[in-house]
Structure 1
Amino acid sequence: MSDLLRLATAGDVDDGKSTLVGRLLYDTKSVLADQLDAVTADSALSTPDLALLVDGLRSEREQGITIDVAYRYFATPRRSFVLADTPGHVQYTRNTVTGASTAQLAILLVDARKGIRGQTRRHAAVLALLGVRHLVLAVNKIDLVGYDESTFTVMAKQFAAHAAGLGYPRDAVTAIPISALRGDNVVDRGGRTSWYTGPTLLEHLESVHTAPDPDQTPLRFPVQYVIRPRSAGCPDYRGYAGQVAAGVVRCGDEVAVLPSGLRTTVAGIDTPDGRLVEAPAGQSVTLLLEHDLDVSRGDMITAADAPPALTDEFDATLCWLGDRPLRRGTRLLVKHGTRTIPAIAQELLVRLDEQALSLCGQPGELVLNDIGLVRLRTAEHVPIDDYDTSRATGSFIVIDPADGSTLAAGLVGADLPIQ
């Protein structure tokens, strides 16, 4: 087994996320000697502060908190890992959305002394909304409650009930008592939790089943750039550069170009290293088409027999990240793929109360960190998929037309995580 697992950490501030990540890196021997020396020199303690392996920004080191998403890569003989360490502060929920957007598993940390709190429930709701399939509840600082079994058991039961309300099956949620500072049950098993018979965190990460489902998603290729060389050697060359967002593109495939709907055939797939016969999702390529069509940046090349919906009105779940509230009639910009289109919030349908796991119909507004279902109307027709069908083409961001700031992360047609 040598596959890749994408994971993210989440939880409230000061619950020990960065220390946990540092512990994973340190105990799996994924830290270079010069990095460890630098962290040891910066640490106020006699032993290295492992959180500094992750908290790289100067402001983070001064404040002792994480305010940005830090990505770390490590590997064991059984699996490779890409880990996103996300912030805990409420005002940085947008960073949590970013870090968890591609994760297959999330580690939710809680302080054993404080229990399950509002931010824990909020993060769990966001993770459920983003389709993160596996959750680990890491009850951290178990050493500070004397390795008490009952404390862990109560928190594990509380979180399991909350996760079930968000639609997680029982086998998708695992609770582990840990001490990130001392290393108990992170990589090595702690002898002070003899009552715990489950896996260590690393054992679980190495063994959790995350085999991707068969890729049934049709081709989606947002055009990033049109290549028209001016050299005399290739006067007729016209290529369409971008990244395959979903599906697989092959030479000879019949495709449609949206929004025009014109059809043609893929004549070639170019890369800097030469021509390909096919390219999977995630690969950046330049497509050559059989016919000379009017294709520009922002258009989408799709499978001809399974194009996305082309619409100027759709319902989407928004995780509101802006400081000013969203109200009916608010004018916005929607960035979907490589297109940015003016839009308006036509109606606010439902707001999620992630603490009580209930829905509030017809809310007057969405404020910072609210999650709600909104009907949007765009100035142009947009080719979209449901988020459940394709993460890449079923998601978008909402931008403030006044200053260009990000206001929301949007998921097309996503069901709110309430069972």
Structure 2
Amino acid sequence: MSDPAQYAALRERGPVFRTVIEGLESPVWFVSGYEACKEILHDARFIRDESKLPGREGPSLAEQMLGAVGMPQEYFKYFGLLSTSDGEEHTRLRNVVARAFTARRVAALRPHLEQSAADLYATLAAKGGGDLIMEVGYPFTTAAICDLMGVEEADRPQILGWIMDLVSYNPEQLVPAVKNIVGYYRDLIARRRAEPTDDLVSELVKPGGIHRDLLAEDVIISIFLLLTSTGIAPPAHFLGQAVLTLLTHPGQLAELRARPELLAKRAVPEILRYTTSVPTGGPLYAAGDFEFRGCPVRHGDAVVPSLLGVNHDPARFDGPDRLDLSRDPGPGIGHLAFGSGAHYCTGAALAQVQTEIVIDTFLLRNRTLELAVEPDRLPFFDVPGKGTALGGLPVRL
């Protein structure tokens, strides 16, 4: 579910309620209230690693989702390494991943991103238009994540192709794509161990480094798969959604053009709140029997936070279904699009910068971009366990 209006009726059942999500075997606690969601994300009684629950039987929710798209079990180990860990293990893994997204790295990347966006705009303008997601979003986010990791430019088209196959969710494309990505990173690790360079890959495979306990090849491959799978497709589709949001709110776009100083501090956080790049967060599990906000939570119960739903909670936001680019986000960033607590998205700063640059390049510095089809004709596709995403954005310039 990705339409925030649909959450109004659900929210009448309470900020936390029991339901069944399509594609999953077992019922879950669904969280649609902002404060309840934030509390759960900071509550140590809810854990991410289902395997740590005593007496657990049967496949986890993550394994059910992987099985549903035909993923061979031998590849399960490459998924969910960071999102399904807790405590000290999660902290160690997060520190490794965070090395790709330091403030220094993101700041150093900004000029490259600005030039990349300008080049992509020029290419699209020369054709008179095209698909903003496929022709701008994907190459833009691929360049960003590959720059941060140190993947050679010559290898990027094949990485992009595999990721696009991955998000097709068609087993005939998805499974070979994962095998190819794993094989590519296994080869890249071998090359960097033989001839190190000044990049993240070489840093992680360096013998005797500060993360020597995390240098198992499968762990490193899992980290690289996480960075490419979450750092390319989700932000590419979100960038299209962000542009669509502004094009379908011409009054707000006019205000932003009149007051471009709103872009970083107000407009981008509001767009992230309003449209939310990942509608549903990863599941958490109750580590015991207890009552949470009047709900009788039992040991092993799964809890699924609706990030889009909580970002439209009227108890937290005034007129939550209204886009207001001058809205004061209040303390912090003013939304839960990136989660909260220990599992707060490590790529949040990069996503913020990418969104700023694309909006600035395609809608503020240049003002001829418009939709090439009516909004109700735009394609959307299902993301297993996450909701729906905008599949393409045809535009004219």
Normalised-by-shorter TM-score class: under 0.3
Query: Which structure carries more relative contact order (alpha carbon 8 Å, separation 6+)?
Result: 2
State the TM-score, normalized to the length of structure 1.
0.21
Q: Which is richer in strand?
A: 1
Structure with greater proportional helix content: 2
User: What is the TM-score with the length of structure 2 in the denominator?
Assistant: 0.22
